[in-house]
Structure 1
Amino acid sequence: MAIKNVVVAGGSGALGTPIVNELVKSGFNVTVLSREGSTTTQPAGTTVKHVDYKSVDSLKAAIAGQDAVVSVLGSFAIPEQIPLAQAAFAPGSTIKRFIPSEFGVNTRKTPGSAIGKILGAKTQLVDFLTEEANKNPNFKWTGISNGHFFDWGLSRGLFGLDREKRTAKIYDSGNERFQASNLPFVAKAVSAVLQKADTPDDKTANQYFEIASFTPTQNEVLAAAEELTGGDKWTVNRVSSAEVQKVAEDKLSKGDYSVFVDLLSVWQYADGAGHAPNLADPALGNNILGLGHQDVKESVAAWLKE
């Protein structure tokens, strides 16, 4: 591997933890950045460095001698990626690859939309990385969009399925395919990018990839849950994506950013949304990175057994 030493920012979160574990398992030397004063522990074999995410100098010192930076900073910390990126491409930096915290929907498609207003900081960062990569050929980045966090979302009721009450919330017809990935699958994608980065056959430099464990419909997920719970039909509550979008946009106009989940649901599930990638597309991240796909029914079964 041309890249060996990797820094992870936000390595203790729901996605950060499996990413750190996968990188360690893949043979990378992993350093996890942690906020000053944090007492969060990290897996054996990692190095922890405390930083001030608002200070470029603090970040430059922490990533000195490293080969790559993976940002898994959460939604509220997304603006702090700018100082991190500035440190990564500062004169004298050894960073060869920067993976921003793009994990989620493809933000390159969101400008001009209601959800794009919430995701604006992500869009601005990728624009920033693109500009810097054009100036400095030694600096490269890779964006990874994975859609919904499927396993994590099921466990938190974000897909409208209630396994105790046997109820389901379905948007419109429920037949729109949507992009979804399990957390360990996303972690494998990150590792695969870094294994290919800065090698002769690297196809990941300055690219924005979509990946997906699968692209099911809401009805397919519900059918799997019904089959796995004995075959009885669950109670379905159908909602209009147009109505949900209208209410969410009104709240957002008043500064209420709690509507993100509603806007995200409409973005993914609304009839005709068209945001699910084609799993057979050779340009899909799955196929570029050699990830394959997963079985949505197996993921639903794992959730039902929790």
Structure 2
Amino acid sequence: MTIKNVVVAGGSGNLGNAVVKELLKAGYKVTVFAREDSTSTFPSEVSVRKVVYGSVESLKPALEGQDAVVSTLATVAVGGQNPLIDAAVEAGVKRFIPSEFGINTRIVEGTAIGQLLQGKIKTVDYLEEKTKANPGFTWTGVSSGLFFDWGLAYGSIGFNKSTKTATIYDSGNEVVQASNLGFIGRAVAAILANEDKTANKYLSIGSPNFSQNEVLAIVERETGEKWEVQRASTADEGKIGLEKLSKGDYSAFRNLLRERIFKDGAGLSAKGDNSANGMLGLQEESLEDTIKAWLRS
């Protein structure tokens, strides 16, 4: 393993915490970058460096001696990753993993949701330019779909255990790309361990992928109760999203996302040839066990 020293930018968030945890488990030496006003705490074995993300001058010395950068910066900051990339190139970093970790942004050009993801799209474009000019610098993009365990807890999957209600879009049979946070962390560790196979590639992962009807069947079985189901249309979500977007309301993203992933026939799940799970040697997560853990929490 030639990549040993790894920086996680944005390591205090839900995903960042999971990535830090799994990198430590895999034996990497981890440094977390934090903003100067951050009060976040980390495990004792993690080094913390306060940086200014918009300043190459601040970032470059903090990146000296580092082999890889994993960016888990929140969506509002993803369009500002270029200084971090520039500093990584100048410091001799080998691998940069940008803040993707959602839907595949390489296949959304020309769509409404693609308009809202320009920061991510342009970041990967910029990485491709940098690797051509600097052969020792490489990147890997990761699409992980919905954050499944997080989405159960915060309602983005469409299920509320307190009220035992569910919102099911279209038929509810579409298989959706999703990943638990820990699974994403393990994928990042595996990408760095397989640096030759993963260099300058955009990978899709996912586990557990799910359909809403599968989730509904499991929660009803585990609770022993019928849940109240509200039927909804992804076409309606799309219309609402477009209307919001026309008014500059960026909450349109949630509506456009529901249309994109839950629509019957979307075909966007990370399975078979569409998945890098096997290449990375990742063990599949259990849909049933994840849901049981959520119901117990």
Shorter-chain TM-score bucket reads over 0.9
Look up the match of 2:41.
41
1:208 aligns to what SS in structure 2? strand
In the other structure, the counterpart of 1:225 is 219
Q: Secondary structure at the match of 2:231?
A: strand
Cα deviation for residue 26 of structure 1 reads: 1.4
Paired residues, number: 297
Deviating 4+ runs (over 4 angstroms): none
Give the aligned partner of residue 305 of structure 1.
296
Question: Displacement of 1:10 after TM fit?
Answer: 0.2
Matched AA of 1:241: T
Deviation at 1:192, TM superposition (A): 0.7
Shift of 1:16: 0.2
The whole-number CA distance in structure 2 between the counterparts of 1:255 and 1:139 is 37
Measured after TM superposition, the shift of residue 180 of structure 1 is 0.6
**In the alignment, which residue of structure 2 is the partner of 1:250?**
243
Q: TM-score, normalised by structure 1?
A: 0.95
Which residue matches 1:113?
111
In structure 2, C-alpha distance between the alignment counterparts of 1:37 and 1:151, rounded to whole Å: 29
2:284 paired with 1:290: no
Amino acid at match of 2:212: Q
Instruction: Look up the match of 1:176.
Output: 174
TM-score normalised by L of structure 2: 0.97
Distance 1:43 1:115 in 2: 37
**Equivalent runs, 1:1-306 vs 2, <5 Å:** 1-90=1-90, 93-197=91-195, 202-230=196-224, 232-278=225-271, 280-281=272-273, 284-306=275-297
Alignment gaps of 5+ in structure 1: none
CA distance in 2, matches of 1:190, 1:277: 16
Cα shift readout 1:241-271 (whole Å, capped 9, x = no counterpart): 1111101111111110112222211111011
C-alpha RMSD of matched pairs (Å): 1.1
2 CA distance for matches of 1:299 and 1:166? 17
How far apart are 1:37 and its partner, in Å?
Answer: 2.2
Quote the offset at 1:73 in angstroms. 0.2
Asked if the contact 2:240/2:255 (under 8 Å) is kept, the reply is no
Counterpart code for 2:226? K
Q: Provide the rounded CA distance (Å) in 2 between the counterparts of 1:18 and 1:272.
A: 32
Identity rate, percent: 52
Question: 1: CA distance between counterparts of 2:134 and 2:29?
Answer: 25
Q: Deviations over 1:62-97 (max 9, x none)?
A: 11111110000001111221110111112xx22000
Q: Tell me, what secondary structure is at the counterpart of 1:268?
A: helix
Distance in 2 (alpha carbons) for counterparts of 1:54 and 1:251? 30
Q: Matched residues in 2 for 1:48 and 1:271: separation?
A: 45
Q: Return the offset for 1:102.
A: 0.7
What amino acid is the match of 2:232?
A: V
C-alpha displacement at 1:277, in angstroms? 2.3
- In 2, distance between residues paired with 1:16 and 1:31? 12
